Structures are given as structure tokens and as C-alpha cells.
Amino acid sequence: MSTESCRILVMASGNGSNFQAIIDAIGNKISGANIIRLIVNRSNAYATQRAEKAGIPWEYFNLVSHGFQAKGEKDSDKIRESRDKYDAVLAQKVIEYKPDLIILAGWMYVFGRQFLDPVDAAGIKIINLHPALPGQYDGTNAISRAFDDFQAGKIKGTGIMVHYVIAQVDRGEPILVREIECREGETLHELEDRIHSHEHELIVEAAAKVAKEVQERKQIKTQ
């Protein structure tokens, strides 16, 4: 029986070290899956270099650079309108590539329903890597916020998770969660490095888990 491969599309905004972890795991820790494309929203994202080296097609698609929002726009209604238009076009773009799974690996843009609803209707799952425990430090700068709270004696540790993506930021169902202790005397940079090394493991574990579920679902459909 032919095994249907899970088609993975990755979205990133920066360095792409988690994207690299996924690339390196394809064919071993992540079986029956292939990365069909990378989409970035920052032109200087090093993740694009990683895609080039790996022979993975990539493209840059940005809210301002591609004409959806005027540079420096401050009007909230215009911003909402431009984000909705960007989301709708991005959704159609992604759907045309026919991924089974979208992995947000340091994708620093909040999707609205104009993206989420069409992608969901197309049966495409979206998962996100976030450097915090469920319900803790939603949004950006999660590691530095946890570091500050540890320094202030408010927490003893933090963690990371991979979760399904829903409209409410970082509140989707967790897939995998890993607690990470904070250490006295550790610098923010040292904590960030330690967390990133755990992330590279967790993102691969989560991608493998979801890709397997997708494969099984596709095999059932072909029977």
C-alpha cells in the first residue's frame, strides 16, 4: 500500500534554526513527509538561506512591501483592512501549494480569520512553536519576560510548547509541552540558548507526531 506523504509548508520570519531542525529531521525523525515550501515575511530572514541550501522553494510575502499597507500607517481601521486583505491573499497562495500541514517556526505575524478560516476549510492544519507554557507569556518576547519574572522571584521555571493555531494567539490546543527550569546566575542569553536547543527537539517531535496523523488520515481516504 502506497504511503501518502505529508506535505509540509513552513512559515518563518527570522533565523530559521527551527526550520533547519525540521529540514535535518526529514527522512529520519520525521518520516513520510516532505517540505514543499518556505514562506517568509521578512526579506532578511536567514531562513531563506537555509531553504536555498536545502533546495527548498521559498518566497517572501510582506504586508507592507507587497502593497497591502502603507508604510507607517497608523489608522487602526486601515490597518485592520490591510491585514485582512493580506491574510486573504496569503491564504489563497498557501492553499494553491496544497500543503497538508503548515508549521510556524518563528513566524512573527498574527493571522486573522481571513487567513485561518479558508486554510481550515481546506483541511490544512497549522501548528506553532512558542517559547512558553500554555497560557504563560502569550505573544512576543516570551523568553525575556519569563527571565525578568524569574529574576523577580515570581516564577521558578518556564517552558516551550507546540500548539495548534487558532484565532486567539498562543491559546490553541497544545500538542507537546516541555517545562524548562530557570537557573540562578544564568544570563538571558544563556537561557535563550538553552531554550532554543530544547525547541529544536520539540518542533521535530511535534512535526513527526502530526505528520504521522496526517499520513494515516490520507491513507484512509485513499482506501
Ligand X SMILES: Nc1nc2c(c(=O)[nH]1)N[C@@H](CN(C=O)c1ccc(C(=O)N[C@@H](CCC(=O)O)C(=O)O)cc1)CN2
Q: Please give the positions annotated as active site.
A: 130
* Residue 97, SS3 per DSSP: coil
- Site track for ligand X across 125-154, x = CB under 6 A: ---x-x--------xx--------------
For ligand GAR, the closer of residues 43 and 222 by Cβ is 43
202 interacts with ligand GAR by CB under 6 A: no
203 interacts with ligand X by CB under 6 A: no
Out of 33, 101, 103, 165, the only residue in the binding site for ligand X (CB under 6 A) is 165
The residue nearest ligand GAR at its CB is 106
Which residue reads 486583505 in cell numbers?
85
25 interacts with ligand X by CB under 6 A: no
Tell me how many degrees the CA angle 7-115-139 measures, rounded to the nearest 5: 95
DSSP 8-state symbol, 99: -
> If contact means CB under 5 to 8 A according to the sort of partner, which of ligand GAR, ligand X, none does residue 68 touch?
none
- Site track for ligand X across 49-88, x = CB under 6 A: ----------------------------------------
Name the one range near ligand X by CB under 6 A: 18-26, 49-57, 144-152, 168-176.
168-176
Q: Which residues contact 26 (CB under 8 A, 6 or more apart)?
A: 33, 34, 35
- Site track for ligand GAR across 124-143, x = CB under 6 A: -----xxx--------x-x-
Contact call for residues 12 and 47 (beta carbons, < 8 A): yes
* 82/100 Cα distance (integer angstroms): 27
* 61/42 Cα distance (integer angstroms): 8
DSSP 8-state symbol, 214: H
For the chain, how long is the longest CA-to-CA vector? 57
